[in-house]
Amino acid sequence: MSRSFYKTILDITAYAFLMIGALTMIIPFIWMISVSLRLPAEQFSRSIIPSPITFQNYFDLFEDLPNNAFLYLTYNSFKLSILAVVGQVLTCAMAAFVFAIVKFKGRDFLFALLVATLMIPPQVSLIPNFIIFKYLGLIGTQWPLILPAFWGGAFGTFLLRQYFLTIPRDLVDAARMDGASLFDIFWRVYMPLAKPAVAALSIFVFKDAWNDLLHPLVYLPTDMQKTTLTVGLAFFQQQLQAGGKFTVLMAGAFLSIVPLLIIFFIAQKQFIEGIALSGVKR
């Protein structure tokens, strides 16, 4: 009796905290949508529901992006982000498996080296990388944005290694008894178990590729048919901000995150419920 009473109190407190927290998390998004649906004269109004509701800000934005530029920009962003996810998941998972499971000479050194590369902020490696791609003759193409996704990465490898380390070792031993090869263990035992972590990594990689401003800016011409949505919108943003057109600015901000939200809601079943329900089978 007292035990369940205590549980109820705990649940109510937990709910209260979660509700307040959730409100804090979501208000900026609601505000963004709210402002984007207002008349310019109402942009600083304090009521959350705009009156009247207008979609004019979105039309204005599309007018600023003629010749289906919005479609091209979105296509480019999708293409680059999806390639980044494929490349990172494959190459990081392989490396992470090796670092987590296999014993070989130089493993710890190589892993330390890999993690050490996290120390250099991207603003610094920009110029050396640019010079490398210049020698490869790839400036002005999308390759400098695609290739790095396929050469592994410290964050993804580290994330998956941490996850792989928590998978019970007896699974490996059992597979070994059945005569499975190294790659078999990776592909048939570890990858299926790591689905939640892979989903998490995919979302992080997709988001980072989608939001990358620095690299598309430097490697691609600011051509609305060749560059990405983030760069395209950044081009308009300074002007909208300077002009005090916050309603259009918010419409642009919201449009730039809509694809991320869609991807997230598609992936979240795997991702959030996957972590909750399956976890690691034992």
Partner 1 sequence: MDYGLKPLGREKLWLWLMLVPTIIGLAFGTIGSLLATLGLSFFDWDLINPPTWAGTENYAALFENKNYIEAFMNTLKFSALYVPGVVIISLLLAVLLNRKIRGVGIFRTIYFLPTVTSAVATALVWNMIYGKETGILNFMLETLGFAPICWLCTNNAMMSVVIVNIWGAIGEGMIIFLAGLTAIPRDYYEASSLDGANDFQQFFRITLPLVTPSIFFQTLMSAINAFQAYDYIYMLTRRGQGDSSVPVAVYSIYRNAFHFFRMGDASAQAIQLALLVAVFMAIMFWWERNYVVYE
Partner 2 sequence: MKSKLFVLLVIASLMLAACGSKPAAQGSVEITFTMWGAPEELTVWQAVVDDFHKANPNITVKVDVSDWDSYWTKLNTLIAGGTPPDVFAMDAPLFLDWQSRGALLNLQPYIDANPGFLDGFYPQTLTAYKTADGYYGMPRDFQTIVLFYNKDMFDAAGVSYPTGDWTYDDLLAAAKKLTIDKDKDGKIDQYGIWSDTWDMELLWSEAIWSYGGDIISSDHTKTLIGEGGARDAWKFIDSLYKEGVMPTPTTSGEFGFDLFQSNMAAMTSIGHWAVPGYVGAKINFDVAPMPKGPAGQATSVNSAGFVISKDSKNADAAFEFIKFALSEAGQKRLAELGFAIPVLKSVAESDAYLKQLGTLNQQVFLDSIAFARTKPVFKGYEEWAGIVGDGLIPVFDGEAELNATLDELIAAADKVLAANK
The one-letter amino acid at 5: F
The CA-based angle 16-18-24, given to 5 degrees, is: 105
15 binds partner 1, rule: CB under 8 A: yes
| Residue 45 or 67 with smaller CB distance to partner 1 | 45
- Measure the N-to-C terminal CA separation of the chain; round to a whole number of Å: 33
Place of tokens 């990858």: 191
78 binds partner 1, rule: CB under 8 A: no
In the bound complex, what is the minimum distance in angstroms from residue 261's beta carbon to partner 1?
Answer: 7
Among the listed ranges 52-60, 70-78, 190-198, 229-237, the one in contact with partner 2 (CB under 8 A) is 229-237
| Residue 131 or 261 with smaller CB distance to partner 2 | 131
219 binds partner 1, rule: CB under 8 A: no
Within 115-174, which residues bind partner 1 (CB under 8 A)?
A: 115-125, 127-129, 132, 148, 150-155, 157-159, 162-163, 165-169, 172
HSE toward the beta carbon, residue 47, CA cutoff 13 A: 9
| Residue 67 or 147 with smaller CB distance to partner 1 | 147
Distance of CA 4 to the CA centre of its chain: 41
223 binds partner 2, rule: CB under 8 A: yes
Within 106-165, which residues bind partner 2 (CB under 8 A)?
A: 126-128, 130-131, 134-135, 139
State whether the Cα torsion 231-236-242-248 is positive or negative.
Answer: negative
90 binds partner 2, rule: CB under 8 A: no
Q: At what angle do helices 246-268 and 69-101 cross, to 10 degrees?
A: 40
Q: Would you say 242 and 117 are in contact if contact means Cβ atoms under 8 Å apart?
A: no
| Residue 35 or 194 with smaller CB distance to partner 2 | 35
Within 54-83, which residues bind partner 2 (CB under 8 A)?
A: 64
Among 68, 181, 222, 239, binds partner 1 (CB under 8 A): 181
Within 44-63, which residues bind partner 1 (CB under 8 A)?
A: 44, 46
Q: How far apart are CA 128 and CA 191, in angstroms?
A: 34
State whether the Cα torsion 279-98-89-216 is positive or negative.
Answer: positive
Among 32, 115, 180, 234, binds partner 2 (CB under 8 A): 234
70 binds partner 1, rule: CB under 8 A: no
CB atoms within 10 A of CB 129: 16
